[in-house]
Structure 1
Amino acid sequence: MKKHLLYISSVILLSLGACHKDLPTELEFESYQYASLDEDGGEWSPVLISAGSELEIPVPAETSSSAYQSELAMTKSAIQNMTAAQKENLTRWTNNPVVRWNEIALELIAKYNLIPGPNADGTYTLPNPATPEGPPGFPFAHPPYASRALAYLSVAQFDGLIAAWHYKYLYNRPAAYQVDSSIPFAYIKQEIPAYPSDGAVIASSSRKILTAMFPLEAAYLEQKEKEHLESLLLSGEFVSSDVEAGSKIGNDIAAKALARASTDGMKNAQTSKAVSDSIANAAFERFGWKWVNLESPQRPVGLTPLFGKVKMWNVPNVEATRPGMPPVPGSEEYEADVKMLKDYAAKRTLEHRKIANFWQDGLGTYTPPGHWNDFANRFIVKYKMSTLRAARTLAYMNMAIMDGGISCWDAKYYYHYPRPIQQIDGFETIAGTPNFPSYTSGHSVFSAAASEVLAYIFPNEASMVRAWAEEAAVSRVYGGIHWSFDATVGTQQGRNVAQYSINRAASDGAD
């Protein structure tokens, strides 16, 4: 790690601490003029479908038709009779609801990022999607789960918006306020056709994806979708058929995303004790070591031992990004790391503690993947991205984060490397020890993968986000959670994984 970069990034990040202290946060921003309208966005390459035209919607009525004029009158009447609560919702959704739905996802991740505790007899019952009410409640939104939820959410939004852009510029039906100048528009005016509503695509796809991921929140998410769709009609931009067409696209693309999710292997990621033991024993036979859970009572199975076998988005196979073997215990490199960790533990500085705590992202938070989504949302607003550009940013970043997590978990359970607290007598961390093997560091992989995509999309921020990723990695060493090689190798692993998503982005037609 470059010391001067780490110092600079820590100053920047700690100054942001007030913004992040109560995670997750909702950005305060107003409607803005998009930096680009992306008129060719309907020709970009989607992820789940072959082209935007694959998702069909009806041919819209002409603005001169009686059907459209009736819708227009209904829109005008609804705006004239807006309640105070509706006006507040209209302001909050703004003209980039991609950010708002991502924030809802982060809120739910934090709410459900609670590890199931032991039963009275010391046994553990795992969360079960078939009985989400529990106990324990489903899901446990740990980092792998969070990365997957965010990836499916963002990819569905992105593909749905490509379809929306295709039809917007095919039919070129103007916004309601352009057809009738007496209709007020709530946001900054953009010269983008209204049919179908891009906001409705986002609302319906997001509600459907997040309901599948967080089934106990179905009523809450349905209410959020209702509020959002209502706000679209009250904005002055859309009539009901605009919104209905967008909602159809959103539901259709979400169904395709969830069909992929049903067969991606995640349902097998959390294994039985017998399978978990066999993975540990295979590593011991291969390398002569294995990680042991030091909790009391001891959890019989590590966290998602087979997440490394979940289907990846852009990496051809997990072996393509599997790192080399970690140092053999007792070797010169290993002993140097033991000394380093002991020195850090004996001489922990205030700065090191602050860095470790800032990046902890433990239980009850939106996890490391969520942390980087928060950063991305801030850049999206800063650079005034359209809904389509915003969804593209989050889709490529979250695909890279999920692929990084899969690659990382493959390495964790392939090598099954012990954590420092298991190997160093009397060693203590300044945070809880995670329930899975050490090598490589999940924080490092998630952060490096995210930062590389953000550096690609926001080149002016490249130095800063890469410094943040290095700091996220070393924070785990400062906290005693990881060996330094977990962090350095994990950082390179995340960068390697991200390159596959970047390569895809570079050829999707958007640049």
Structure 2
Amino acid sequence: MRYSCKKNTQSMKKSVAILAAVWVTAVSLQAQVEPAASHWKTWFIPSGKAYRLPPPPAYKGEVTQVLARQQSLSAVGRQQIMYWNAGAPGYRWQQLMGELWMNGSSREGALANMLLGVATYDATIAAWDTKYAYDRPRPYVVDKRIKVYAPKTDSPSYPCEHSVAAGVAVTLIAHFYPSLADSVHRMAQQLMASRVAAGVAFPSDTQAGFELGKRVAEKELQHTKGFVPKKEWDGKRPEGTNYWQGKPSFPLAGLNKTVALDSSSQFRPGPPPDFAKEMEEIKNFKPTFRSTANAFFYADNNFWDDVLHKKIFEYNLHLNPPRAARLYAIAAIGMYDGFSACWDAKYTYWGTRPDQYDTSYRPVLFFTPPFPGYPSGHAMLGSIMAELYSYFFPSEKTYFQKKAKEGAESRFQGGIHFRTDNEVGLEMGKKVAAFIVEKIKTDGADDELSLPKQKKGGL
């Protein structure tokens, strides 16, 4: 009982500290934005300081450029400002990558998604080191003729954090999805122009930020070059009633090099049971409107990405780029490591699915994913996300866990997973997430939350 009380007290203190940091960031224009973030640990680069930029040029000559952009601002330009104002610097790019990798068939999709989150975070930490090394004021601060068409922030102007995220995204998307290279380059140019026209960045801020993002992304592509094995599957598979049959998707994903986990097999479960009793259970299950709706909802929605965007908005963390980037990075690592661990188990045991175990059975979802069923990927990845989000938003733990269970149950309701697939997936997810949480506790961001310090006077 004494330990439980102590643990609850620590959790409450952490919740209060997070809410305090969010509140000050959201409402105080005099508060610095995470000035200590430059000391947070990075994942694939040595440190933020290792990528510190040279001093910015004098901004006097650029004031006229900002004013000229604002004077010639068109309706389309205003729309671009509004579009890129939404969310944290990485928000629009995270949305795009979520669509690309979740709906694609590339064996490197999970790697691409993970790298976008991690490289944006690492590059943001590097940007924060440069920002507070030179403390360059924003355009609307240095010249009152410059209007501000974006949320005001008291973080320094150089380099532009939105352009940093763009440099990362363009480099990675062009690498993994080369047919989109021209499109994302145009998007980045629009983003950079919008920051200048909004009065929150000088042209040199956007250019420096974009180049910094590119440099970090290129380094991290190099660092992760061998993470996804290039070798082909040898075609070997077990035969029998309990084993899944079909053309497998990503059969070697369990060999991926992990980021936070020691290996993909670190939390590999034991073998699945004989599914005779569970086949009887699923055949006796009577679908309802509610159960069918739940099955289709989780089959057709990227729920965990969507809810993270939502919580970042709700907690005003979109106004705190380092913390938003940290959240996106850790979620992406959880997804990548979890995917690798789940696929390790799937292709270790080749557990069958209901419609193969009993060919007379027809699942509610009228399709079966092209890979083994044990354990459930939906259950495991949902469990990981629920535990990670609960760490960052502890007051909403019950909500996240409820959604993880709903997602797992949806696979049984849809008729494409046995009960054991889901139960084992949920348990694996908790173990993976707990291991990741222990890692991120040492990154410096939560040791002593860097509450913004008040400056004397106003802007």
With structure 1 as the length reference, what TM-score do the two structures score? 0.78
- Which residue is equivalent to 2:287? 348
CA contact (8 A) 1:396 1:502 kept: no
Shift of 1:342: 0.9
TM-aligned CA deviation for residue 397 of structure 1: 0.9
Q: Is the 8 A contact 2:254 2:265 kept in 1?
A: no
Is the counterpart of residue 240 in structure 1 residue 203 in structure 2?
yes
Question: 2:219: which partner in 1?
Answer: 256
User: 2:120 touches 2:213 (CA, 8 Å); kept in 1?
Assistant: yes
Give the one of 44, 55, 70 matched to 1:79. 70
Question: Which runs of 5 or more residues in structure 1 are unaligned?
Answer: 1-30, 114-138, 294-300
What residue number does 1:69 align with?
Answer: 60
Q: 2:454 maps to which residue?
A: none
The equivalent residue for 1:318 is 264
**Distance (whole Å) between structure 2 residues aligned to residue 348 and residue 145 of structure 1:** 36
Question: Residue 416 of structure 1 aligns with which residue?
Answer: 350
> Structure 1 counterpart of 2:243, which letter?
K
Alignment partners' CA distance in 1, 2:413 and 2:338: 22
Deviation per CA, 1:333-388: give whole Å up to 9, x if none. x33312210111xx111111011000013xxx7xxxx4311110111111111121
Matching residue's letter, 1:350: F
Q: 353, 364, 386: which one pairs with 1:451? A: 386
> What are the equivalent positions in structure 2 for 1:19-38 lying under 5 Å apart?
37-38=33-34
Shift of 1:426: 0.7
Question: 1:356, 1:266 → 2: CA distance?
Answer: 33
| 1:99 and 2:125 aligned | no
Maintained 8 Å contact 1:57/1:248: no
Aligned length: 416
Instruction: Determine the structure 2 residue equivalent to 1:435.
Output: 370
1:410, CA displacement in angstroms? 0.3
2:244 maps to a residue whose letter is: W
For residue 78 of structure 1, what is the amino acid of its counterpart? R
> For each residue in 1:404-448, what CA deviation from the matched residue of structure 2 results, as whole angstroms up to 9, or x when unmatched?
110000000001111111112411112210111110111111111
Question: Would the aligned equivalents of 1:32 and 1:187 in 2 still touch at CA under 8 Å?
Answer: no
Is 2:52–2:130's contact at 8 Å kept on the other side of the alignment? no
Q: Tell me the distance in 1 between the aligned counterparts of 2:32 and 2:131.
A: 15
Alignment partner, residue 392 of structure 1: 326
CA distance in 2, matches of 1:257, 1:439: 33
CA RMSD of aligned residues (A): 2.0
- What residue is the counterpart of 2:142 in the other structure? 179
| SS, match of residue 90 in structure 2 | helix
CA distance in 1: counterparts of 2:280 and 2:85, whole angstroms:
53
- Amino acid in structure 2 at the alignment position of 1:108: L
Distance 1:146 1:454 in 2: 22
Question: What is the one-letter code of the residue matched to 1:351?
Answer: R
Q: What residue identity is the alignment partner of 2:313?
A: V
User: What runs of 5+ residues in structure 2 fail to find an aligned partner?
Assistant: 1-24, 447-459
Cα deviation for residue 508 of structure 1 reads 0.7
- 3-state SS, counterpart of residue 318 of structure 1: coil
SS in 1 for 2:147: coil
Which residue pairs with 2:436 in the alignment? 501
| Secondary structure of 1:54 counterpart | helix
Instruction: Give the match for residue 55 of structure 2.
Output: 59
Aligned counterpart, 2:12: none
SS of equivalent residue, structure 1 residue 87: helix
Local SS of the residue matching 2:209: helix
Aligned to 1:426: 360
SS of corresponding position for 1:359: helix
After superposition, the C-alpha distances for 1:205-229 in whole angstroms (9 at most, x for unaligned) are: 1111122222111111111111111
1:168 offset after TM fit, Å?
0.8
The within-5 A match list for 1:100-499 is: 100-109=92-101, 113=103, 140=105, 145-268=108-231, 271-272=232-233, 275-276=234-235, 278=236, 280-281=237-238, 289-293=242-246, 301-327=247-273, 329=274, 334-344=275-285, 347-361=286-300, 370-385=302-317, 386-431=320-365, 432-499=367-434
Q: Distance in 1 between matches of 2:325 and 2:382?
A: 19
Task: Compute the displacement of 1:100 (Å).
Answer: 1.5
> Aligned equivalents of 2:304 and 2:223: distance in 1?
24
Contact 2:148 / 2:200 at 8 angstroms: preserved in 1?
Answer: yes
Letter in 2 for 1:200: S
Cα separation, 2, equivalents of 1:319 and 1:70 = 57
What is the alpha-carbon distance in structure 1 between the residues aligned to residue 169 and residue 436 of structure 2? Answer: 22
Deviation at 1:43, TM superposition (A): 0.6
Give me the identity figure in percent. 30
Structure 2 residue identity aligned to 1:43: H
Query: 1:43 is matched with which residue: 39, 48, 56?
Result: 39
Distance of aligned partners of 1:401 and 1:89 in 2 relative to their CA distance in 1, 3 Å threshold? same
Counterpart Cα distance in 2 of 1:101 and 1:400 = 18
Q: Secondary structure at the match of 2:193?
A: helix
Question: 1: CA distance between counterparts of 2:218 and 2:413?
Answer: 43
Q: Distance in 1 between matches of 2:118 and 2:410?
A: 30
Residue 109 (structure 1) shift: 4.0
Residue pair 2:120, 2:168 contacting (<8 A) in 1 also: yes
1:449 maps to a residue whose letter is: I
Match of 2:15 in 1: none
TM-score scaled by structure 2? 0.86
The CA distance in 2 between the partners of 1:381 and 1:357, in whole Å, is 26
Q: Verify the 8 A CA contact 1:173 1:194 in the aligned structure 2.
A: yes
Which amino acid is the alignment partner of residue 448 of structure 1? S
**1:491 and 1:59 mapped to 2: Cα distance?**
50
CA distance in structure 1 between the aligned counterparts of 2:242 and 2:358, rounded to whole angstroms: 14
Partners of 2:209 and 2:339 in 1: CA distance: 32
